[in-house]
Amino acid sequence: MNKLEQVIFQFRNELGSDFISTDVVGMDGLSIGGGSLNPNFDAADISARFAEVMKLAVKISTKIDIGKVDDNLVTTDTTYIISRFLGEGHYYWVVVVSSNATLGTVRMLMNEFAPQITDAIPQGASVVSQSVNNSKAEEPKIEEKPKQEKVKKNFWSDAKQEKDEEAEERALKMYKFP
């Protein structure tokens, strides 16, 4: 068992029965360590799909200037899926626990184990894609069309104006002037 597997094993034991899956994943979506105890749970699929989620989280936070992504939480009726970047952003860590888990405890353990996991990433592990911070340069440039200024409407005043116009038309029809 290598160092990364040992740290993941310790983390898994700390979580106990709420643990479902954990993986350390490159930004290419390929896991370099981890897995699930449940053979019916496809940890590789989660790993690959969350690469896009993490890239999107960074893109959104950058576009709307709300700060650096700390972690990403997806809640389903049966699970919590927490993903967070490790080190310089070449890798991320995804943890899946049952919805019975105490979310604060999971985050606390992730904070505790993140430096150990980062240190345990094998130096020989290839960084296929660049850091998420540099992914902006890799994206194809899409020519944005200038936004057309929309006329802001006030529903209440517009509705009143429409009623006044309709009333005027009815009055003209009722009283036909020669």
pLDDT of residue 114: 95
Report which of residues 58 and 161 the model is more confident about. Answer: 58
> pLDDT digits over 99-136, tens only?
999 999 999 999 999 999 999 998 755 443 333 333 33
DSSP helix/strand/coil, 84: strand
- In order of start, what are the domains of the chain with their CATH numbers? 3-138 (3.30.450.30)
Tokens (6 digits) for 68: 């650096």
pLDDT of residue 38: 85
Residue 165 CA, chain-centre distance (Å), reads: 49
pLDDT of residue 177: 54
In percent, the amount of the chain with pLDDT more than 90 equals 54
Q: Are 131 and 85 in contact (CB under 8 A)?
A: no
Report the alpha-carbon angle 84-130-121, nearest 5.
55
Q: What does pLDDT average to over the chain?
A: 80
- The angle, 0 to 180 degrees and rounded to 10, between the axes of the packed helices 103-120 and 3-15 is 170
Q: Are 35 and 23 in contact (CB under 8 A)?
A: yes
Q: Are 56 and 27 in contact (CB under 8 A)?
A: no
Q: What is the DSSP string of 93-113?
A: EEEEEETTS-HHHHHHHHHHH
Of 133, 131, 111, 123, the C-alpha closest to 32 is 123
| For residue 18, pLDDT beyond 90 | yes
pLDDT of residue 3: 92
pLDDT of residue 128: 39
Tokens (6 digits) for 4: 């990364």
- Cβ-based neighbours of 132, under 8 Å, separated by 6 or more: 27, 54, 55, 58, 85, 89
Give me the sheet containing 19-26, strands edge to edge: 31-36, 19-26, 91-98, 79-86, 72-75
pLDDT of residue 138: 41
